[in-house]
Amino acid sequence: MTDGDEDNKVKNVLFLCTGNSARSILAEAILNREGMGKFRAFSAGSFPTGKVHPYALDLLKAHNHPVDDLRSKNWDEFAAEGAPELDFVFTVCDNAAGEVCPIWPGQPMTAHWGVPDPAAAEGTEAEKRLAFADTYRFMTNRISIFVNLPMRSLDVMSLQARLNEIGQTLSDSV
Total number of domains constituting the chain? 1
Domain containing 31 equals 3-166
Q: Would 172 be classed as within a structural domain?
A: no
- With respect to residue 146, please indicate whether it lies within any of the assigned structural domains: yes
Point out the residues that are catalytic: 17, 93, 101
Residue 23 domain-assigned? yes
Give the count of alpha carbons within 13 A of 3, CB side only.
3
Residue 173 placed within a domain: no
What are the contacts of 167-173 at 24+ separation with CB within 8 A?
A: 167/90, 167/111, 167/112, 167/113, 167/114, 167/142, 169/138, 169/141, 169/142, 169/145, 170/115, 170/138, 171/141, 172/137, 172/141
Within-domain flag for 27: yes
In a domain, 115, yes or no: yes
Rounded-to-integer distance, Cα 141 and Cα 132, Å: 14
171 belongs to a structural domain: no
* Interval 65-87: pLDDT, tens: 999 999 999 999 998 888 999 99
pLDDT tens digit at each of 174 positions of the chain: 344 556 678 999 999 999 999 999 999 999 999 998 999 999 999 999 999 999 999 999 999 999 999 999 999 999 888 899 999 999 998 765 555 667 777 789 999 999 999 999 999 999 999 999 999 999 999 999 999 999 889 999 999 999 999 998 764 443
Report the alpha-carbon distance of residue 89 to residue 68 in Å, rounded.
Answer: 23
Q: Is residue 113 one of the residues assigned to a domain?
A: yes
Listed in sequence order, the DSSP H helices in the chain are 3-8, 23-34, 54-62, 94-98, 125-147, 156-166
Question: Hey, how many other C-beta atoms are within 10 angstroms of the C-beta on 103?
Answer: 6
Query: Which CATH number belongs to the domain containing residue 131 in this structure?
Result: 3.40.50.2300
As a whole number of angstroms, the distance between CA 98 and CA 80 comes to 21
- The whole-model pTM stands at 0.90
